[in-house]
Structure 1
Amino acid sequence: MKLLKRLLQDRLTAASLVVVAATLLIGLCAPLLAPHPPNEANMELRFAGASWDYWLGNDHLGRCILSRLIYGIRPSVIGVFAALVGTAFVGSLLGFAAGYFRGKTDAVLMRICDMMLSFPGYVMTLAIVGMMGAGLANILFAFVMMKWAWFARVIRTAVMQYADADYVKFAKVLGIGHLSIMARHITPVVLPEMAVIASGAFGSMILQISGLSFLGLGIQAPHAEWGMMMNEARAVMFTRPELMLAPGLAIITVVSAVNFLSDALQKAMDPKLMPTGKRAVSNTGGIERGLRGKEAV
C-alpha cells in the first residue's frame, strides 16, 4: 500500500498505471467490449471511414478496426505478460539457486547464463521462431528461452547481497530449511529488484512481438494483433494512413506507459533515486523526531 501511494503521488505515474491496468482489463473483457466480431469480413464496407457503427472505420476486408484493436490486446499485451511471468519464474528460480548456494551450482548456472547472453537477444528470438515456425506460442517460448538468463543474472547478484546477512546466518544456525530461508528472509528484500527488471522487460517484449508480427513471423491471419494490423496496412499507408495509425498509437501508448511506470517503480523502491528535496525533508523529519524524543526523556 505504501508503494502504491508513492506511485500515485506523481500524476504521470498514476496515468501510466491507469493506462496499463485499463489495457489489461479491456483485453480480458474483449468479447464484451468489442462492438463487432474481429474476423467478420464485409466487402461492402471495404476501406469505409469512421461511422457510428464503426468508430475507427474498416480495413481492406471490411473488418471493424476498433474490434480488432481491442482483441489485439490479448496477444500483444496479455500474452506477453504471461511470457514475462514464466521468464521471471525460471530466471528467479535459477538466480536464487546460484546466489544462495554458490560454489559449483553458481559456476555452472552462470556459465550457462554467459553462453545465453553472448547471443544478441532479438537475433536469437528470430532464429528460434524461424526454426519452430510462426505463431504466438512459439514467440512466447522464444521469449522465455532468451530472457531467463538476464533475469537469473540480475537476481543472483541481488540474492548474494543478502545471503550473508546476519539474520540469514542466524536462521541457518537455528536449523531452518533453505527453502524457508529463501522464502521468508530473502524473497521480500529481493522482490523490489525483481519487480523493477520485470517491468522494464515488459515494454521491450511488447515491441518485439509487434515487430515479429509486422515481419510476418508472429501472429498469423486472421487473428488480430497490433503488429500484424500494421503489416496489413502497409499497402495503403499513404492513401489510408489511419489504418496504420491506430495500432501504431496503441503500441506507443502502452509501451510508453510501461516505461514510465518502470522508472517510477525504480525510484519508489530505491531511496537514492528520490529527489533531493524529498530526501532532505525526510531527514529533517527524522532529526526533529529524535530531538523530541530527547526532550521527552
Structure 2
Amino acid sequence: MRLHTLIFKLKKWIKILDNRSKMLLQSFLIEEKCRFLSNFTLKTAEVELPGEFLLPKHNHYFVRISRFMPRVDVVQKHNAAARRLYIRGHNGKIYPYLVVNDSGLADARREERVLQLLRMLNLYLGKQKFTLQLALACFAEYVFHLTRLNPDMMYLHQDSGLMNISYFKFDVDDGTGELDTTRPVPFRLTPNIIEFLSSIGVNGPLTASMIATARCFVYPNFKVLSILKPILRDEMILSRAKKPEDVTGTNQEKMTDAEQIINMVNKAVSSISNRLNSLAQFDGIDSKVGTLVAAANSNDNLCRMDPAWHPWL
C-alpha cells in the first residue's frame, strides 16, 4: 500500500508541475535581460553568425550579425529548457539559435568537435551518393536501351542530395521498330562529371556498382526477363501503331503482325539479356564495364554526339 500511495502522489505532483510549467512565460523581450544585445547593430561591430566558420564557404560569403530580434522564446523539450534566440543576418534572413545553460558544457564541446568532423565529411558522402545513383542511371541507360541522358533530365534535390531522372524512354527505331544499338557513347559520363567524381570514383565505386547491379539482375535472371516481356510488348505495339496501316488488311496479315511483334520482343529481350550477362562477368581488372567507361569519356566518341546532348557539360 505504501508503494501504491507513493505512485499516486507522484502522478498527482507531475500533473501539478506540468500545469505550473505551462503557466510560465513562453517568451520575453531581450531588452529586459540584456540591453547591449538589444542595441547591437552591424555598425557596432562586424561579428559573424555562430557556426559560420564550420561551413565550407569562402570568406566573402560569411553572414554577419545585423541585429538581435527583440523577442526570445522559451522552449521546453526533451526534459530540458532552452531559450530560442533569433538573429537577423546582413543578408536579411533570420537565423534561430538555441541557448542552453548546461552544466556539462565540456562534454558538449567534445561532441561539437565530432559534429565538425562529420560536417567536413559531408562533401565526400555527397560524392559517394551521387556516384552510386549515377552508376545506376548509366547501367539502366546502357542495358535497357533507353534514350540518351540529357542534362535537363537530371534533377538533384538540395535537401537530400538524391538524383532523379525524368523522361527516360526505350530508344526504339521508328523505321525498324527495334531497340537502337548504334550510339557513339554507351551512357553519359562527360568530362565535368568525371572531374566531380575524380578518376578514383569513376574507376572504383562507379565501376563496382555497375558490376554489382548487373549481377543482382542476372541471378535469378528469369525474373527480369518475365518483367521485360510485357513491358516491351506494349512498347512494340505502340511503335507499330504509329506506322500507317492498310485498313483492308486480312486476318492473315494481322496474324503476321502479331508474330512480328513477338519476334521483336524476343529479340529485344535477348539483346538486353546479353548486355546484362556481359556486364555481370568480371575477370580480374578486365571487364566490360571498364571498356564502356573508357568509351563514354573518350573525346573521339563525345565529338560524334549531337550538340543538343551537350557533350561538354
TM-score bracket for this pair, using the shorter chain length: under 0.3
Higher Rg: 2
TM-score, normalised via structure 1 length? 0.25
- Which is strand-richer, 1 or 2? 2
Which structure is higher in helix share?
1
